[in-house]
A and B are shown apart, each in its own frame.
Chain A
Amino acid sequence: MSKKDLGLLILILVVGAIVAIINPRFLLPINLANTSNLIGLFGILSIGQAFVIITGGIELSVGSLVALLGTLFIDFIAVRELDWPLAFVLIIVLGAIIGLVHGWLITRLKLQPFVVTLCGLLIYRGVARFYTADGTAGFAFGQNFPDLEFLTAGRSYGVPNSFIALIVIAIVMWVVLHRSVFGRYLYAIGKNEEAAKYSGIRTGRVVMAAYVICGVLTALSAIYFAMYTRSISPASHGQFYELYAIAAAVLGGFSLRGGEGSLIGVILGTVLLQELQNLVNLLGIPSSLNFAVMGGVILIGVLVDQQWGVFRARRQMVDAARKGAVGAAAE
């Protein structure tokens, strides 16, 4: 765990302690379970986003994808009565294909990630609304999927299964990001894509793979969100979720220029965001201020982090000067 991650963890604990003191209901099992369920759902989404951000890209369409893929999933199992494992696989594959198309447009046709995924944001939202004719996708009365419901919305020993799923995914993706050859390539490309290319890395393929991973994890979280809300109105479902995911990554120490950030960081970022949401509810702050609180905290967090970096760099320079290690560059 890096110093940055540790700082974030301490912030989470301090905020948690303050909220708990003001409103002890924060620590009630039911509140903790609800919050950790949300952490699970948003965490899966944010990990996907993190893989794209590490390459220096951005994926703005995930909120709309949560709506579209969630709508399709419910439609598949509730209306078309597909077996849910089949529907599950179909949705994951669809997420992968959409990620692949985004990656292809960005790496082969050299479009900017922001533009490609902004168009995605608009297109998928529109398609989702058209698909349900602006209606609501949901289950008929008495329709039950016990296994699916247990896996997505159920609890084991009081812990939401969605949270457990996040832990499992986080461990796997931690290995991928921090230990695998692919992960090293991601960092290298994020730091300096040209130099990575000159080292013989097929940078296009690696970046494309990052968008596929994002698509798959988004599809998975779309299923979880769908089973959590159980009914979806595509006009509003998942709105702004891309921003939650980006915010979690940024809070977690990711640089939007790429090449920086850790998996633990993005998880902690998600935890802090959900804690803040909970804080707004529990402390009786008008819920209309929700976004303002989140924005304010992110801004302060990033500012402190950046100033701390400047401070450290300055101190290093002063130290170096004191040691007399001033090497005037010979040109």
Chain B
Amino acid sequence: MMNYSDTSIAAITPFLSLENVRKTYPGVVALDGFSMDVMPGEVIGLVGENGAGKSTLMKILGGVTTPDTGTISVDGTAHKGLSVEGSLASGIAFVHQELNLFENLDVAANIFFGREPLRAGPLRLVDRAKLREMVAPLLKRVGANFSADTQVSDLSLAQQQMVEIAKALSIKARLVILDEPTSSLPIAETDKLLDVIKGLKADGISVIFISHRLHEVERVADRVVVLRDGMLAGTLAKRDVNHDQMVKLMIGRMLKEREKASEAARAPGAVALSARAIRTPTYPARPVDLEVRRGEILGLAGLVGSGRTELARVFFGIDGSLGGTLELDGKPLALGSAADAVAQGIFLVPEDRKLTGILLDLSIAQNISLPNLPAHATRSLVSASAETATAEKQKKNLGIKAPSVETRTGTLSGGNQQKVVLGKWLAMNPKVMILDEPTRGIDIGAKAEIYGLMRALADAGVAVLMISSDMEEVIGVSDRIAVMHEGRISGILDKDRFSQENVLLLAVGKQPK
């Protein structure tokens, strides 16, 4: 483990100091023995894989949750934990990945929402002039090139980020925590944002910059803290910060074990689903070519926002393609709706289980029969016994834990809900099965079962396309891995070239080794 030893700041009290922080949830140790310091005016890059403990750390700093043990010191005063108010009062401000702006209001109204200066008098009218006066210096500090009365919906994403940062500054922030601020920004906009971070540093404000984009971390961070499995994997001082060092610490020793565990490559089957020059509505200028073969699990990796889900929506007929062609088993495929895809045996287990995967108010049986209801009916009348029979079969097959198939799916655990989504497709005959983040928010036991199911499907000759942001999952489960970067396929890895490093490199748009 490396240590920072910058003599110029060694004498100053850190603004924030975490010592031996531990946080557990039932069955999971989210953070363990974690310590870090944040100096005034220091930019800290915080990196780590999904599930490494970054969000738990954010929750502790935001006062949303308190650690089980350990201390948090702000300005030298030790606390057991922060409250939401305490965090705010200490000057800790968050800029989240998802922007929390009112798009229909202007910039000034957003920054001081709920804290508008009022004119004297009983009408409590907003003092527009005063408001503009208060907003001007904040906008100047973030280097805004737009005026305070611009409507937020007219701003670019980077400009909206600036508004968020100005909002953070308006509470006299001393530490600004940026959570994946650049994940949805194009390159040119990212540069502007990094300049803003440098500006904050110059004003003596500390910054914690969380990002998967390692080259940005490299450019802006004074020090990088790497989290792995809830523990501090290492700290890199400015001169040691480089891409390879970070990746090494993020992955740790897991890498080699995984590679050994990978099995011999399987004989690939015929191409089931083939996409040629498909252009999704999100990335209309980035045509995608992709082939999914029968009997394989093709992993689709990439950063959040790289266009994977958008591609899946086109394959499933939810969105139309703006060009290109789709083929199923060598025959042209025209999809006008999800119903068309389902009729062809192309099924999707969507990313957002609760919004699109299942109907929470319906029973297990009703959810499973829904896509194939006419087959469970005689003369258009639903046969409850046929529904129950299908559902019982899937319940047994998948090991869905529920009192009965009449149980409302809303009361089930995440893993069991996901099994219901799988069950409704397994009850029909899948040709192509697309799974978007199939194990997100699911406990480890259910995860293993879902991996087993995907493998069984592939062995039965189904073409399986698995979108996943979980690196271990992608490498452990896939037969081939396609990686997306900003809307295009940046590379396809065969089994002998599987490594977390290669996937990461392709995901950030670089060439693999």
Contacts and interface: CB of A to CB of B under 8 A. Distances in A.
Contact of B361 (A183, A191, A202, A330): A191
Contacts of A195: 355-359
B361 A197 contact: no
Interface of A: 175, 179-185, 187-188, 191-192, 194-202, 259, 327-331
B61 interface: no
B430 to A, nearest CB: 12
Interface string B355-372: 111111110001100110
B342 interface: yes
A198 B348 contact: yes
B26 A196 contact: no
A180 B382 contact: yes
Given A184-B373, A198-B357, A331 B25 contact: yes
Contacts of A184: 366, 370, 373, 382
Contacts of B55: 331
6 contacts: A180-B382, A181-B374, A188-B362, A199-B370, A200-B339, A202-B339
B337 interface: yes
Most buried by B among A179, A188, A199, A328: A199
A188 B370 contact: yes
Contacts of B337: 197, 202
Contacts of A179: 381-382
A273 B219 CA distance: 71
Nearest to B414: A329
Most buried by B among A175, A179, A195: A195
B370 A196 contact: yes
B380 interface: yes
Contacts of A175: 381
Given A184-B366, A330-B26, A198 B356 contact: yes
Nearest to A327: B26
B69 to A, nearest CB: 17
Interface string B316-347: 10100000000000000000011101110000
B366 A198 contact: no
A181 B362 contact: no
Nearest to B353: A195
Top 8 A-B pairs ranked by shortest CB distance? A200-B342, A330-B25, A200-B371, A198-B356, A199-B370, A199-B371, A200-B339, A202-B339
B355 A192 contact: yes
B97 to A, nearest CB: 16
A191 B371 contact: no
Contacts of A198: 316, 318, 338, 348, 350, 356-357
Nearest to B424: A199
Most buried by A among B27, B55, B355: B355
Given A180-B381, A184-B382, A201 B370 contact: yes
Nearest to A183: B382
A197 B377 CA distance: 20
A203 to B, nearest CB: 9
B370 to A, nearest CB: 4
B417 to A, nearest CB: 12
Interface residues on B, range: 35 or more
B318 A197 contact: yes
A208 to B, nearest CB: 14
B265 interface: no
A266 to B, nearest CB: 19
Given A179-B381, A191-B361, A201-B370, A328 B25 contact: yes
B187 interface: no
B2 interface: no
A194 B358 CA distance: 10
B381 A201 contact: no
Given A179-B382, A200-B371, A330-B28, A191 B339 contact: no
Contact of B380 (A180, A194, A200, A328): A180
Contacts of B56: 331
Contacts of A259: 361
Contacts of A331: 25, 30, 55-56
A24 to B, nearest CB: 45
A260 to B, nearest CB: 9
Nearest to A330: B25
B339 A181 contact: no
Nearest to B341: A200
A200 B56 CA distance: 37
B30 to A, nearest CB: 8
Interface string B376-405: 010011100000000000000000000000
A191 B381 CA distance: 20
B421 to A, nearest CB: 9
Nearest to B347: A200
A215 B358 CA distance: 31
Contacts of B30: 331
Contacts of A180: 377, 380-382
A187 B374 CA distance: 16
Contacts of B355: 192, 194-195
B199 to A, nearest CB: 34
Nearest to B383: A179
Contacts of B342: 199-200
A202 to B, nearest CB: 5
B343 A200 contact: yes
A187 B366 CA distance: 11
Given A184-B366, A192-B360, 18 more contacts: A181-B380, A183-B382, A184-B373, A184-B382, A192-B355, A195-B358, A197-B356, A198-B338, A198-B348, A199-B359, A199-B367, A199-B370, A199-B424, A200-B342, A201-B371, A327-B26, A330-B28, A331-B56
B359 A328 contact: no
